[in-house]
Structure 1
Amino acid sequence: MGGTEGRSARGTRAVHAALPEPLREAVDEFARHLASVRNRSAHTVRAYVADLVSLLDHAHRMGAAEVAELDLDTVRSWLAKQRTMGAARASLARRAAAARTFSAWAHRGGLLPTDVAATLASPRPQRTLPTVLRADQAALLVEAPTRSTADGRATSGAHPTPEADAHPTAGPPTADGTGTEEAEGAEDGERVARAVRWRDRVLLELLYGTGVRVSEVCGIDLADVDHGRRVVRVRGKGGRERTVPYGLPAQRALDEWLRHGRPVLAVPASGEALLLGARGGRLNPTTARRIVGAYAEAADLPRIGPHALRHSAATHLLEGGADLRAVQELLGHSSLASTQVYTHVSVDRLRAAYRQAHPRA
């Protein structure tokens, strides 16, 4: 757990421990409900629990010792306090949603006599248009790991992260620094570096070629890939599964990775994971984000993460004539409203091109 996130989690646990027992029990039961009944992701559960702990701590400071003493005025004063502390509109909207969800759950379970937050209004989050690469920029990025010079060596920036150095077989030469052991160590290091580049190419091809989330691509197992039909099964938010297609470039990258790359990195603990880290475990989303950012920086592209490739895939599909419903299904959006933002992106790009090119713009 990273620095800021780790400090936030520790702070939440400390505040939780200081709550009266009835409030602590309500938090724990609500967390179990979100995870097991609502099937929310671990990230969503953590966020909602942190918001609820903050709300109940505020209520406790105002004299409440049980959930039944929570009322709408307390919830509103909690949100007002968050706003004065500088919380963003999106954060306030999420916290209001957490309060409404908890209030409805507590009312159904008999902890609250009424659903006190049912009428709670929340600020509409300010929707900013996502970063989208041009098609040529996306191609430059996904091809970066395995693009080669005329003499066969990787181009500058083809492996911008030092992850290969972490592999157990890619350690430093022996103490004397001479002889066959040194040569074998160098050869092993180069094999691992090539394998990591093949892995990076598959990662980028799948992120852009399918529009999947970074957590979804990291969760793909070998059995999830149907090479004959060129589709892959992914598990999205709430554990929902969907099948998405991928193209020939991704298929070629997969073939290279499975034949020449994955066997180099695989260890007994690799299991069925498709994408592996340099030490042989399943590639994790944090490392994947670092990989995407490093290649984008090396290619002099805008500073982006994996989600920008998802945005780019959706926008390019719509610009190419894809149906909005089909894009919704591909991305795994539960609501069409989430997909419609890409129509605004396409319109804005069209408007910019018109202003630049039309003599009467």
Structure 2
Amino acid sequence: MIVQDVITILNEYAPLPYAEDFDNTGLLVGDTSSVLTGVLVTLDTLETVVDEAIENNCNLIVSFHPIIFSGLKKLTGKTYVERTVQKAIKNDISIFAIHTALDNSWNGVNAKMCDVLGLKNRNILLPKTQVIQKLTTFVPSGSVDKVRNALFKTGAGNIGNYSHCSFSIEGKGSFKGEEGSEPTLGQKGELRFEVETQIGITFSKHLRSKVLKALFAAHPYEEVAHEITTLENTNQHLGMGMLGELEEEVPEKDFLALVKSTFKTGCVRHSGLNSKMIKRVAVLGGSGSFAIKAAKAQGADAFVSSDFKYHDFFQAEDKILLCDVGHYESEQYTKELLVDVLTKKITNFAVVLSQTNTNPISYF
């Protein structure tokens, strides 16, 4: 087994194309063809985590946060980032980061927050747009089923809670094979009119290369006319944050106690109490102030996230209970999630849960 095999597993679970543009995900250090000895899963990659990987004979670190976020211009060991990267390189340890690709996954960071809080009836808080694409192609009538089924096998035709979605229009196409052509139908130099079906089919953008490969393999024509457009539809199973419901509504103070114990935090910073009951809860791992407006718009009674600034709490406006549990605390269960994903797929290599507490914040 090699490093690329682990990357493939993670990319299938939380495709990297859905990471945010500002992010730095994927293999940050190392070689995809390196033979695997073991995998260490961590929230952050620090020098101490690299030491832990060495001790456990793991030559791949799967990290939630990327150790390299902005460009590195020097490797002199003057910063914790440089020292960490240097130590990893010296010891032939690869580092892979998944970060916002897992944030945006339906079964990712926010789903895990919902799990530990016991939230049901979930939906995405901020669904992503510009992630559903549409393939349009033209197929001779005798090959329509073959091409369409080949596309379905890639996962194309899935949108929302529906699968095998496509649309067809019959018409007549024309073509004339010129010098160097080898037409499947008709003869070179002959102007030919052929009954064709226009097939339109949607797919998630991370499947693009797979969809095109299947199209070219199944289509009978030497030259396959096709176009790909991006749709405005949102993907209701992809995006930042999640909204769910508690089994039973609880008073605000009871909810705050639940949040504090669940996320094992030394302090829950929160907006003012209004003697309201909490039932509908929004969550977002990491820095979540940008989603306060969405949580209010979707009728959340409370919003659990982190890194709220002073003025962010004014946005509560007595309509929602804002709960800042701390950045590390909101994402702490991500390690266990990634270990579960990998151990279900990898049985012949060690997948180790890092025991290093990488939280840079302490409470007095």
TM-score range, shorter chain: under 0.3
TM-score, scaled to structure 1: 0.23
**Which structure shows the bigger proportion of residues in helix conformation?**
1
> Taking CA–CA contacts closer than 8 Å with sequence separation of 6 or more, which of the two structures ends up with the larger relative contact order?
2
**Which structure shows the bigger proportion of residues in strand conformation?**
2
TM-score, scaled to structure 2: 0.23
